[in-house]
Structure 1
């Protein structure tokens, strides 16, 4: 049996106020192509299907299109759990009726220890899914003393260990933050105060653990305990990550192969660094000028409308940083103080940036007289 593990679709997400819905449709079509090309038998989605608990209609429509393509058109079962971004009740609407169509939506925490049994060509695999659950929910529902995420998750995993059939391969799905894993800027914290992590050790005994929540593909405590990562880059901290899905081959004896398959976005998320003029000149030879960009300018002097000039050649500049300007300020405190107390110097600098040449002597004298007059008038009226 071949499983495809994916997670953290975040349908409906905005990236610096830019809708990513078309980007998401593009990579999800690739996911469907992988299902066809790799003869995938079932798809596991480990939470955060939507970006918020009340998703926009366009995100719901896209999910419906993908699920129809998988479950109805291809007859490929899909097992999904809710994540911390999802509204569990909304996502789980109609779940009992949809099982007959091969869509298994696991959002009911009270039924977490009831597996989905998949059978392909004599290979039977049990899939247990733990929907996102905070300690308060576990404590209230099961009347146990679970004071943090680790205690709550450990209790749920141990319950599943007792419920599993010993001679049948078993997959665990969970949406959680495993201790020691690498986070990205685009992930919403599960709790305040840093007590959100769970241990990987209780999950070691499963044949495969399909994790969701962290957006970078990675493993913890063994190759079989892993995050597939999100299908797209959702922050500039993810620039270096290889986005994709994970394929898992399972026989009656257990997992035989695990591999990552890349997904390729329409527009990459990149970082450009350099001086403004050099970046604008280099745009002519950039093969992908419409990528989503963070630009880090190294110029050490004031610039007039740098983001407007950059967007003339790179239309999707989403964020601009000026570390060069701050470095120059730090290296020249005296000059900074001079500009603060000398309005004429500020005007000189502005005129040179706008006009491309310094003020001449007559212009400087006239401006100086005007500033003196304004200063005197302000003092007299104070």
Structure 2
């Protein structure tokens, strides 16, 4: 059995008010090509298909297009579970009818786990789907006393073990396995560490196709894996290499795993340096259209830095000025350091705007105004 493990598509996501839908379409085209050329038997999507419970119409249209190309044109079954960003009820509309055509939207949160049996030349593989469910939901639907995500997951997996008939088994789950590498773009499932579950819960499956964490990674055993998100969704993911996971399972359930890289339409990077150097660098940067966070190290005022940087880097999304707050002083608050540098900053600004140095009389006038403003803040 050859299956493709993916998760965390987050269709419809915006980043710094920029729609990522075309970026998502670009990598999903690659995913369809992988399914076609690598002769994949089934595609798994382990939650967070959409970025929010009520997705925009264009995101729904994109999902519809991808399902049609994979399932209808290529004849490949697809298995979905809901993540914490999805509305399981909305995602599950028409699930029973769709299942007849090999599109399996598996289960409602907290209910008995859904299962799908798929054949290959060596027998059958049983796939169990566990959509995201918090302890309150599991307690309500199953009537069991659980108070943590681990207890809730253990209760659901107990039901899986009761259904298991000894076939090769794969479980899809959307959860936070303890010790996993986090990113800023993941919505917390809980506070205070109560959302963590142990990797040992998945020990007895032949493969655990996990979703939620955006970095591709495995936990404790190589068969307990996060495929990671299709795209970088925060600057904290700058160093991550996005991929999908191709799994070949033999007759005994042993898995051979391959990460297939995805190439983004726009990479997401952090650039740091001085303003003039970055302007010069941008004119020859082959990735000048990437989504960028820029940290300027200059300690002087700069006129319209964002607009000027966007002349060479059109997709600068965020600008930081740490150089204004760290100009050699130590042991003082950022506000105090900034106050100390206000007059020099104004002198730099005046020079950039007029081409002339601020005269002594003007400096005294500005210094007096600044002093008056600060006294007013203290009062």
Offset from partner CA, 1:209-243 (integer Å, 9 cap, x none)? 00000000001111000000001000000011110
Closer, same or farther: CA 347–215 of 1 in aligned 2, 3 Å: closer
Task: Determine the structure 2 residue equivalent to 1:264.
Answer: 263
TM-score normalised over the length of structure 2:
0.92
Assess, with a 3 A threshold, how the Cα gap between structure 1 residues 342 and 111 changes in structure 2: closer, same or farther. Answer: closer
SS in 1 for 2:132: coil
> How much has 1:325 moved relative to structure 2?
1.9
Secondary structure of the structure 2 residue equivalent to 1:254? coil
SS at structure 2 position matched to 1:353? helix
Larger radius of gyration: 1
Aligned length: 372
Q: 1:365 — aligned with what?
A: 361
Q: Secondary structure at the match of 2:349?
A: helix
Mark the runs of 5 or more structure 1 residues left unpaired by the alignment: none
In structure 2, list runs of 5 or more residues that go unmatched. none
Please name the residue that 1:319 is paired with.
318
Deviation at 1:3, TM superposition (A): 0.3
Equivalent residue runs for 1:204-353 within 5 Å: 204-328=203-327, 330-331=329-330, 340=339, 347-353=346-352
Give the whole-Å Cα distance in 2 for the aligned partners of 1:370 and 1:272. 34
SS at match of 2:300: coil
SS at match of 1:215: coil
RMSD across aligned positions (CA) = 2.5
Q: Which residue of 2 aligns with 1:40?
A: 40
The superposition leaves residues 148-194 of structure 1 with CA deviations (integer Å, 9 ceiling, x where unpaired) of: 1111011111221222112x110011000000101100000011333
Closer/same/farther in 2, CA of residues 304 and 120 from structure 1, 3 Å limit: same
> For residues 249 and 205 of structure 2, what CA distance do their matches in structure 1 show?
12
Aligned to 1:93: 93
Report the TM-score when normalising by structure 1. 0.91
Counterparts of 1:53 and 1:34 in 2: how far apart (Å)? 28
Q: Which residue is 2:103 aligned to?
A: 103
Aligned partners of 2:8 and 2:214 also within 8 Å? yes
Deviations 1:283-307 (A, max 9, x none): 1110121100011111122222211
2:186 alignment counterpart: 187
Task: Look up the SS of the partner of 1:293 in the other structure.
Answer: strand
Quick check: 1:79–1:104 contact (8 Å CA) kept in 2? yes
